[in-house]
Amino acid sequence: MKKSFLLLTLILVFLTTSIAGCSAEVQNNNSVYELYSTQNMYNFLKLNTSDGRITQVQYAINNDAARFECSLNSVPLVDSSQAQNGRFKLYPTQNIYTFLLLDTINGKTWQVQWSIDEANRGIVGEIK
């Protein structure tokens, strides 16, 4: 009985640790690029973590024409001499289309909007 209990406990500990180690989005401070999922299953935001540039990436199952990558902001938010991997991070909000972009070094924050409609995507503005 004690052996069965010990075996069951070890299995539960192993399963708990294995599940806890799984993550849909693995962030690495040394990565130049990170993908952030949106609430839309076909769209991701690709962040250049060193300079704050963001593109919207859309994939498709059976339609090559529906796959695309477009820029939300093509201008770096810091000078190349200040660029550093892991400097910028994206945070989702309760609004499906809105993320907050944080400069982890100086604390500046921007509101970012993604959209299927080109006129409604980009950096809305800096939050001061």
Determine the Cα–Cα distance for residues 43 and 78; give it in Å rounded to an integer. Answer: 26
Q: How far is CA 41 from the centre of its chain?
A: 14
Contacting residues for 60 by C-beta, under 8 A, at least 6 apart: 42, 66, 67
pLDDT tens-digit profile, the chain (128 residues) = 555 544 444 454 444 434 444 334 455 678 999 999 999 999 999 999 999 999 999 999 998 889 999 999 999 999 999 999 999 999 999 999 999 999 999 999 999 999 999 999 999 999 99
Q: Tokens 């944080």 map to which residue? A: 102
pTM: 0.76
